[in-house]
Amino acid sequence: MSMTETKEIETRQFIGTDADGVWWYVRIRTAEVSREVHFTDHTHGVLRHTLLIGFDTARSWDHSGPGLDGFEVAEGWTREDIATLQMFAQRWDRNGLRAGSDWHIERGMTYETHPEAVDPSGYRIGSEWLAEQLPDAVLTEIARIRTLPTGPKSELDVWMRKNRITFTVAKRLDDAQFTGSDGTPFGENHPRYTLHLSRRDSSDVNERGHVWRAFEFTDSVEQTSLAEVDTTEVFRLYLEGTRNIDVPFDDWLGEFYNEDDILDMTYRERQVQRKVFNSLHRTRARLIEVLGNELYAEALELLDK
């Protein structure tokens, strides 16, 4: 069976905060496709649309979404909007990847709960991927929901704007390959960028006005174009990398490797890890140079929100 993606749209929207102050987002990906499939009613045909939908916070991905007791809905949204999305996530998420037929679905059977269940036609659950056509009403409602406010990308994003902190892509450099512990290149080339962090410091004013404290990183990130680089997320990754760096090298290494793996490391492999460790120390010093100790500490606290 063949599949041709013709148009894909992915959106992420802020929907509100729960009783613990955690920020919640809905992520929706729809694609127009032309795929020959077996449907859950055992007919053959062409699948027109696929849907991937779920909820996430800064901490984790959650398929079910937030509990609405004590939930503060984002501006422009209603509880009914969120309840509709939760229903879509339970009923229509991954509509092109169904393990069971209509007979299984109607009886609440899943591959995990009934791996040997066979429907009256002789189809055993999980024998192949079946599909369901997305109803037009679902597509219409998703199109409406996508017109609702997207809100801030994260609480970190709001904090950066509040404190006049910018983290931007200055330019793309030549691609580079990662190297193994023995110095041998491996994998595909990765795009490299110059990333510029700056803060307008209102407390330090001279005759020219506000002082901009800034420095630049040069780094590799997974995205392939400047337009795709989420600089707030990259900034978050730099913060994550430096938050637990104030420990001895062997303790830091123990956060990523078990004791046996550490004992099996060659001298060169340990040196490569030590270079990473030292680089993170330098990065933290530069972050503090721009942000100051107080703002750096505030930024670390926001990583879990």
The DSSP annotation for 12-59 comes to: EEEEEE-TT--EEEEEEEEEEEEEEEEBTTS-EEEEEEEEEEEEE-SS
Structural domain contains residue 114: no
Rounded average pLDDT over 3-11: 70
Together in a domain, 35 and 138: yes
Q: Which strands sit side by side in the sheet containing 165-172, from one edge to the other?
A: 165-172, 192-206, 209-220
Give me the mean pLDDT over the 243-256 stretch.
88
Query: Domain check: are 70 and 209 in the same one?
Result: no
Read off the pLDDT of each residue in 235-243 and give the average, rounded to a whole number.
Answer: 84
The region of weakest confidence among 31-35, 86-90, 196-200, 277-281 is 196-200
Specify if 203 maps to a domain.
yes
- Whether residues 10 and 141 share a domain: the answer is yes
Is residue 213's pLDDT more than 50? yes
Rounded mean pLDDT of 226-248?
75
Strand (E) or helix (H) holding 203:
strand 192-206
| pLDDT computed for residue 107 by the predictor | 93
Instruction: Specify the range with the lowest mean pLDDT, choosing from 153-162, 166-175, 257-266.
Output: 166-175
Q: What is the pLDDT of residue 15?
A: 93
pLDDT at residue 243, as a whole number: 86
The residue among 145, 174, 204 that closes a domain is 145
In the listed set 145, 171, 203, which residue is the last one of a domain according to the structure? 145
**192 and 74 assigned to the same domain:** no
Residue 140 pLDDT class (50, 70, 90 cuts): very high
The mean predicted confidence, pLDDT, of the chain is 80
User: Is 221's pLDDT higher than 50?
Assistant: no
The whole model's pTM is what? 0.57
Q: Which of 40-49, 131-140, 225-234, 276-285 has the least mean pLDDT?
A: 225-234
Across the range 270-289, mean pLDDT stands at 87
| Contact of 177 with 186, CB cutoff 8 Å | yes
> Quick one: pLDDT at residue 269?
87
User: Token pair 């512990």 is at which residue?
Assistant: 181
Give the DSSP per-residue string, 216-281: EEEEE-S-SSGGG--HHHHHHHHHHHHHT-SS-HHHHHTTTS-HHHHHH--HHHHHHHHHHHHHHH
HSE, side-chain direction, 13 A CA sphere, residue 179: 9
- Asked whether the beta carbons of 150 and 142 are under 8 A apart, the reply is no
Does 259 reside within a domain? yes
Does the residue 124 lie in any domain?
Answer: no
Pairing of strands 176-179, 5-17: unpaired
* Whether residue 225 sits in one domain with residue 201: yes
The fraction of the chain above a pLDDT of 90, given in percent, is: 34
Do residues 49 and 185 share a domain? no
The answer to whether residue 150 is domain-embedded is no
Co-location of 28 and 91 in the same domain: yes
Shared domain check, 296 and 179? yes
User: What is the rounded distance in angstroms from the CA atom of residue 15 to the CA atom of residue 86?
Assistant: 12
Same domain for 197 and 293?
yes
**How do residues 281-300 score in pLDDT, each as one tens digit?**
888 888 888 888 888 998 88
Asked if residue 111 lies in contact with residue 97, where contact means CB atoms within 8 angstroms, the answer is no
CA distance 281 to 301: 19
Q: Does 226 fall in a domain?
A: yes
Tokens 């670390």 sit on residue: 300
If you write DSSP's letter for every residue of 74-124 in order, what string do you get? Answer: PTT--HHHHHHHHHHHHHTTTTT-BSS-HHHHHTT--TTT-TT-B-TTSPB
Q: Could you list the residue range(s) of the whole structural domain that residue 283 is in?
A: 155-302
102 part of a folded domain: no
Look at residue 208 and tell me whether its pLDDT is greater than 50. Answer: no
Domain check: are 139 and 197 in the same one? no
Predicted confidence (pLDDT) per residue in 88-138, tens digit: 999 999 999 999 999 999 999 999 999 999 999 999 999 999 999 999 999
Q: What is the pLDDT of residue 216?
A: 52
Residue 55 and residue 24 in contact, taking contact as beta carbons nearer than 8 Å: yes
Structural domain total, the chain: 2
DSSP letter for 154, please: -
- The residue ranking higher by pLDDT, 23 or 80, is 80
Out of 84, 112, 145, pick the residue that ends a domain. Answer: 145
Q: Which residues contact 110 (CB under 8 A, 6 or more apart)?
A: 99, 100, 104, 125
Tell which residue, 170, 172, 174, has the closest CA to residue 196: 170
227 occurs within a structural domain: yes
Domain shared by 218 and 136, yes or no: no
Q: Are residues 136 and 184 in the same domain?
A: no
Q: What is the pLDDT of residue 176?
A: 47
pLDDT of residue 93: 94
